[in-house]
Amino acid sequence: MKAIVHTEYGSPEVLHLQEVPKPIPKDNEVLIKIHATTVNRNDCGFRKPEYPFIIRPINGLFKPKRKILGTELAGEIESIGKNVKTLKPGDKVFGLSAWKFGAHAEYISVPEDGSISFMPTNISYNEAAAICDGAYLALNNLRKINFKKIKSILINGASGSIGSSAVQLAKYYGTSITGLCNTKNLELIKSLGADFVIDYTKEDFTKNGQHYDVVFDAVGKSSFFKCKKILNSGGTYFSTELGYLSQNIFLALFTRLFNGKKVLFPIPKDRKEDIVFFKELIEAGKYRAVVDRVYPMNQFVEATKYVETGMKTGSVVISIDHT
C-alpha cells in the first residue's frame, strides 16, 4: 500500500510517498480502507518536532518511531479479526488514531474497541475525516466546565479545527459564546453558533471591557497572564498549547491551590464513546464539519505547508483515491 512516510525530523519536505506492507489485523482489530484523512497540528508537531523535550523522548531522540503520521480517518472496513463482533466488512467508519497515528496511508488496522464508530449517514468521507481531532480536543477541555454555572465563554481561534468544534459544542451545552477570528470567518463563526464575534485584526479582545467566565485559547496564541484581567471572579483559562516553557502545565498545578482565577490543562484522551457522541450530534444536525481545502494524496507536502501557515479554517483533508 501507499503511505506518507518520514524517517527523519524536519520540514514538510521530509515527507514522501512510499510503498509499505499492508497491515494485517489482529484478532481484535479491523482493517480499514482509508478514503480520507487530514493534516493537523499533531502531525506537524510530531514531524518537526515542535516540543523537542517532550516529543523526542516518546517518539525517538534522533529518528521518529512513528514514521506514518495521521490521526483522523474515514473509510470502509475491508476485513476483520476473528474476535470482532460489532463491525463487518463493508461498514463505513470514521474516528481517530490519536497517539498511534498511521492514518496517512491507504489502510490502517484499529482495535474494535478503539476510537472509531459507524460513519454518520448524512456526510461524505471528506467531511467525516474532518470531525474527530478538533472535536475531541475541544471536548477534552469543555467537559471540565460546569455549563449550569457559567454564563459566558470566549473562544480564541474560533475558526480553526479545535475552535470551530468548541463553538459548536459550547452551543450544544448552552452558554453565551464569543468567537475570536479574522474578518473573512466572522459569518462562519456566527453560523456555527457564536452569539458574538470579534475580529482580531481590528480589535484587541483583552482591552474592550468585556469579561467572561471561561477563556478557551484554541490556538495557543495568548496566555493566562494576558487573559486574567478579562476573566470574571473564579474564571477559568484553558489553552490547547503548553505555552512558553510549558507554563500552562505549571500554572494548572499552581492556580488550583487557590480559589481565584485558574488555569486548567487536561491531558487529552480519545474515547470510543466520544466518537459515537459526535456521530449522534452530526446526524441530529447539531454539528457539522468545517473543511477548508481538500488535497490529493500526492500533494501532502503542499497540504502540510498550508496547515503550517496557521491560517486554515477548520480542517485540511487528504483524499485518498484507490483507483
Residue 245, pLDDT score? 52
Residue 256, pLDDT score? 77
Please answer whether residues 251 and 224 qualify as being in contact, where contact means their C-beta atoms are separated by less than 8 angstroms: yes
Residue 249, pLDDT score? 82
Q: Which residues of the chain have pLDDT under 50?
A: none
* Spatial CA neighbour of 22 closest among 105, 110, 111: 105
Residue environment code for 162-190, b if the CB has 16+ CB neighbours within 10 A, otherwise e: bbbbbbbbbbbbebebbbbbeeebbebbb
**Torsional sign, CA 108, 113, 117, 118:** positive
- Domain 2-133+270-319 annotated CATH 3.90.180.10: yes
- At 24, give phi and psi (nearest 5°): -110, 115
Report pTM.
Answer: 0.95
pLDDT tens-place string over residues 229-269: 999 999 999 999 876 657 888 888 878 777 789 999 998 99
Q: What's 145-264's CATH class?
A: alpha beta
Domains of the chain, by residue range, sit at 2-133+270-319, 145-264
Residue 244, pLDDT score? 60
Residue 248, pLDDT score? 82
Residues 27, 190: Cα–Cα separation, whole Å: 46
